[in-house]
Amino acid sequence: MSHTFYIGMSYAMTGLIVTALIAWVWLDGRARMREIAQLEASGIRRRSRPAKSEAPSA
C-alpha cells in the first residue's frame, strides 16, 4: 500500500463520514419540524409562546 493510496483513502473516508453526518442532521431536522407541525396542528403549543387568544401577561 503506497502512501498516496493511504492518504487518498483517508480523505475519501473523511468525506463520506462528513457527508453522512450532514445528511443525518438534515433528515432529522426535517423529521423534528414535521413533529412540531403535527403537535401545533393538534393544539399543543410551546410554553414559551402564548396561545393566540391569550393576551401576554406583561
- 18-44 per-position pLDDT tens digit: 999 999 999 999 999 999 899 888 887
Percent of the chain with pLDDT over 70: 78
Distance separating alpha carbons of residues 10 and 12, to the nearest angstrom: 5
Residue length, the chain?
58
Residue 51 lies in a domain: no
Q: Residue 56 pLDDT > 70, yes or no? A: no
**Please, which residues have CB within 8 angstroms of residue 33's CB and are 6 or more apart in sequence?**
none
- Per-residue pLDDT band at 58 (split at 50, 70, 90): low
Q: Is residue 34 part of a domain?
A: yes
Evaluate whether residue 32 is within a structural domain: yes
The reply to whether 53 falls in a domain is: no
Number of domains making up the chain:
1
Residue 51 identity: A
> By residue range, what is the domain housing residue 32?
1-42
Cut 0.85: pTM above it? no
User: Distance between CA 42 and CA 57 in Å, rounded?
Assistant: 24
| 36, amino acid identity | I
